[in-house]
Amino acid sequence: MRDAILILVCGLLGFLGAGPAVAADRGRVPRLVERVIDGDTVVLDGGEPLRLIGINAPEYQPHKHRIDPYGKESAACARRRLDGKKIFLEYDIERRDKYKRTLAYAYSGEGELVNRALVAEGCAKAGYYPPNGRHYRAIKEAEKEAKARRKGLWAVVD
State the DSSP string of 10-64. HHHHHHHT-TGGGTGGGTPEEEEEEEEEETTEEEEGGG-EEEETTEE---EEGGG
Single out the catalytic residue among 34, 51, 141, 145: 51
For residue 149, indicate whether it is catalytic: no
For residue 51, indicate whether it is catalytic: yes
For residue 31, indicate whether it is catalytic: no
Delineate the domains of the chain, giving CATH numbers in brackets.
19-156 (2.40.50.90)
pLDDT by residue (tens digit) across 8-62? 333 333 334 443 344 444 689 999 999 999 999 999 999 999 999 999 999 887 7
> CB–CB of 55/61 below 8 Å?
no
Single out the catalytic residue among 59, 73, 90, 143: 59
Residue 68 has pLDDT above 90, yes or no: no
Neighbour tally for 64: CB within 10 Å: 8
Q: Give the SS3 label for residue 106.
A: strand
Single out the catalytic residue among 28, 81, 101, 116: 101
pLDDT by residue (tens digit) across 93-102? 999 999 999 9
Please report, for the chain, how many H helices and E strands are present, in that order.
4, 9
pLDDT by residue (tens digit) across 128-157? 999 999 999 999 999 999 999 999 989 876
